Amino acid sequence: MEGEVGGSNGVWGGGESLLILGAVRARDSSSLGKEVVEHFVPRHGFLVCVDSDGCVFDTMGIKQRECFIPWTIAHFGLQPVAQAARECKEFADLFSNTRGANRHVTLKRVLAELLPTHPSVKSRAFQVPQLRYYFAWVEASVGDLSHEGLKKAIAQAPNEQARREFEQVLAWSERVNWAVREIVKGVPPFPYARHSLERLAGVADVVVVSQTPMEALQREWDEQGIRTYAALICGQEMGTKSQVVALTARHYSPERVLVIGDAWGDLEAAKENHVLFYPIVPGREEQSWKELYEQGLSRFLSGTYAGAYEAEQIALLQRALPDRPPWEAR
């Protein structure tokens, strides 16, 4: 039944240790998801919040290059500056401090900041579309940067221009999701990621904290047979990463909570909640997981993770993800 909770499309338990939020199809699925997080019940003394795309799975590159970028160029009429658009999108989503951010945050950054100032765009006097109502919505939204949030924005649009902007972005986002379903298949976890999840089983509650839509998260974790390691799976519909970490981490001592991620947004979520952080460094993903499996987890579980070791790991991430694009130095 439409909107029913349960089965493969709702909230269900797979034994006492498993609580999964499914892709509930009801109109209030976002609020339902947040309610599930608020009622999360821990089973172990440790909590590990882990990102998915680019962290557990090597999916960031293929999703951006084969799904996001082509449809960004197509939907926003960027064909005359396609190469510049590709550079800007890759920088915003893969190689900068906004890696791993919500798709609407990085789309706004590309259209409003990076692309208009790109040398190729300036030399060709190309006018990058400026979606002022959409940009304002991105800046004002708190944990509602999703399809449900866009649909609400369309319904509440103050004028025809605003409605057209929201509808254009929603069509783009839906097309990207379609491309991801069609193209991103069979991508396994990074080496040592599965081993790390196996090691945590029985001693820590693992919560997936991602800005990827729930449908894709469920499909990817199911496909690779690792969904059973997750006590809870949280996608973009559930709120920001910091919000999800806050709602789950409140049940544990801060030194017993570890956030694992590949982006500044993951680090910020950890800092804002005063918990520990371990980076999966872009370009060094396999080495990062090996280090975590062989040393990091033992330090975390024994209470010796904080301090110099954590700072050393964080420094690696900060060096890998700059704030400004390389073409500014040309």
Give pLDDT tens digits along the chain (330 positions): 222 222 222 222 333 333 333 333 333 444 556 778 888 999 999 999 999 999 999 999 999 999 999 999 999 999 999 999 999 999 999 999 999 889 999 999 999 999 999 999 999 999 999 999 999 999 998 668 999 999 999 999 999 999 999 999 999 999 999 999 999 999 999 999 999 999 999 999 999 999 999 999 999 999 999 999 999 999 988 889 999 999 999 999 999 999 999 999 999 999 999 999 999 999 999 999 999 999 999 999 999 999 999 999 999 999 999 999 999 976
pTM score, whole prediction: 0.83
**Which helix H or strand E contains 192, and what residues bound it?**
none
| Measured distance CA(267)–CA(96) in Å, rounded | 13
CB-count burial class (<10 Å; 0-12, 13-18, 19+) for 104: buried
Parse the chain into domains and list their residue ranges: 7-58+189-320, 70-183
CA distance 300 to 305: 5
Q: Cα separations (Å) of 120 from 70, 75, 166, 179?
A: 18, 20, 28, 28
CB neighbours of residue 71 within 10 Å = 19
Residue (of 128, 64, 50, 57) closest to 95 by Cα position? 64
- What pLDDT digit, counting tens, does each position of 251-287 carry? 999 999 999 999 999 999 999 999 999 999 999 999 9
Helix count (H) and strand count (E) of the chain? 16, 7
For residue 30, which phi and psi values (nearest 5 degrees)?
Answer: -65, -45
What's at 28, amino acid-wise? D
Left (φ > 0), alpha (ψ -120 to 50) or beta: where does 307 sit? left
Which helix (H) or strand (E) element contains residue 278?
strand 276-279
Q: State the DSSP code for 105.
A: H
Question: Given this model, what pLDDT does residue 15 score?
Answer: 34
Please report the pLDDT score of residue 237 as a whole number.
87
CATH architecture type of domain 7-58+189-320: 3-Layer(aba) Sandwich (3.40)
Look-up: residue for tokens 């609400």?
152
Tell the residue number behind the tokens 């439409």, with chain if given. Answer: 2
**Distance of alpha carbon 66 from alpha carbon 272, whole angstroms:** 33
φ/ψ of residue 251, rounded to 5: -85, -5
d(Cα 290, Cα 80) in Å, to the nearest integer? 43
**169 contacts 150 by C-beta, under 8 angstroms:** yes
Closest to 133 measured CA to CA, from 114, 160, 115, 106: 160
Sign of CA dihedral 131, 137, 143, 145: negative
CA distance 80 to 83: 9
* pLDDT tens-digit readout, 188-223: 999 999 999 999 999 999 999 999 999 999 999 999
As given in the structure block, the two tokens for residue 53 are 């795309």
